[in-house]
Amino acid sequence: MSPQRVRLQYNVSLLHPNALVGCRVQRVPEGSTERYTRWINTLSQEQLITQVYTSHGPTVVMPTWFCSRKWYLKVGPFDERGKGVPEDLLFFYQSLRQGGRLFRVDRCLLIYRYHEKAATHSVTEETIWKLRVNFLQERVLSQWENFTIWNAGRQGRKLYRCLSPTNQKKVKAFCDVDENKIQKGFYTYEESKERPKPRIPILHYSKASAPFVICVKLDMTGGVLEEKLDSLQLKEGTDYFHFN
C-alpha cells in the first residue's frame, strides 16, 4: 500500500466513524479482472450504495477497508467458518444493516494482487447468488408494491424463480430488447404448484414501467444499456437497481 493510505483513509474515518472507507486500486498482474477493476475504481459515491446487489460483491472491496475499531466491533466479528464462506460479503451486508455508510478515497492507495489460488475462488457462485437475492428482497423488494425484471432470458427467469412467493406476485412483467423473447408474449412458471400456473408478460423495454431490477451485466453492452436507461429518464437507486 502507498505511504499515504493510512493517513488519508483515517481522515475520512474521523468524519464518518460509522463507515467502511475504501480507496482506488491498481490490479496486478496488469489487465487482470479488467471489468471488475474498472468498476471498483469508477463507481460514484451514490453507486457505492445503489450497486451493492451486483455479482461483483462489495462496492468498497475488502482489501481497501478502513474503519474505526468501535464500528468493527459493532458489526463484527467476521465469519470464520473458513473455506467457501464469503466473509467479506457477510460483513459488508451486516454493516449496511447496522446503518453503516460507504466512502472511497479517490486515490490509488493499494496494489491489489490477483492470483488463481486466492480464497475468493473457493466461494461458489450459488452461495453468493442466494445471499444477494435475500439481501435484494430484504432491502429493496420489501419496499416495492410491484416491479419489472429487465431481462426475459436465463438470468431474469432465475431471479424470478428464486424470489419468495410474495415477491414473485409483485413481478408485473419481464422486459427485453430481444424480439424473439418479446414475441413469445409470456413467461410461464412451469415449476409452480399454483393452478393456473403464473404467466408473466414479456414486454419491449420501452413499454415497461418502473421500478426495474436490471439483470443485464454491467459494462458489457458498450454503453447501450445505459443509453436505454437514460432515454427512459430513470434514476438509479429509485427507479432501478442493478442486480447482475
The predicted-structure confidence for 35-50, as pLDDT tens digits, reads as follows 999 999 999 999 999 9
Q: Alpha carbon of 202 to those of 14, 153, 180, 209, 243: distances in Å?
A: 49, 10, 10, 12, 19
CB distance 168 to 197 below 8 Å: no
CA distance 132 to 242: 11
Model pLDDT, residue 205: 94
CA distance 137 to 132: 9
Pair type for strands 186-188 and 199-204: antiparallel
- Domain limits of the chain? 5-126, 144-242
The predicted-structure confidence for 66-99, as pLDDT tens digits, reads as follows 999 999 999 989 998 877 899 999 999 999 999 9
Planar angle of CA 32, 37, 41, nearest 5 degrees:
155
CA distance 114 to 28: 6
Name the stretches of the chain with pLDDT < 70.
117-121
Bridge partners, 176 (sequence order): 204
Bridge partners, 162 (sequence order): none
Model pLDDT, residue 121: 63
Task: State the DSSP H helix or E strand holding residue 88, giving kind and residue range, or none if neither.
Answer: helix 87-97
Domain 144-242 has what CATH class?
alpha beta
Neighbours of 42 (CB within 10 A): 11
Pair type for strands 171-176 and 212-214: unpaired
- Whole-structure pTM value: 0.93
Model pLDDT, residue 120: 67
